[in-house]
């Protein structure tokens, strides 16, 4: 749990900041149905599969 806001609030906040628009967003959540409705680059379902996480890290970290 995040101390100031939850992940959904954080995602809304960074979408409002134009300087962050180029940063890819990978959502990690156990709330599958709610997560499908948001605009993000990738989604990982909890519990996280390590091979999927590493694959996404390789895709977005240059």
* Span 2-13, pLDDT tens digits: 789 988 888 888
Give the angle subtended at the CA of 32 by the CAs of 27 and 35, to the nearest 5°. Answer: 45
**15 contacts 41 by C-beta, under 8 angstroms:** no
Taking the mean position of all CA atoms in its chain, how far away is CA 35?
A: 9
Give backbone dihedrals phi and psi of 13, rounded to 5 degrees, phi first: -65, -45
Query: What is the per-residue pLDDT across 16-38, written as a single tens digit (0 to 9) for each?
Result: 999 998 899 888 888 777 666 77
Predicted structure pTM score: 0.70
Indicate the domain borders of the chain.
26-62
């Amino acid at each position: 749990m995040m101390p100031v806001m939850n992940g959904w609030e954080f995602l809304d906040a960074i979408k409002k900041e134009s300087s962050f628009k180029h940063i890819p967003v990978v959502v990690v959540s156990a709330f599958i149905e709610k997560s499908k409705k948001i605009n993000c680059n990738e989604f990982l379902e909890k519990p996280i599969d390590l091979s999927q996480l590493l694959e996404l890290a390789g895709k977005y970290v240059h």
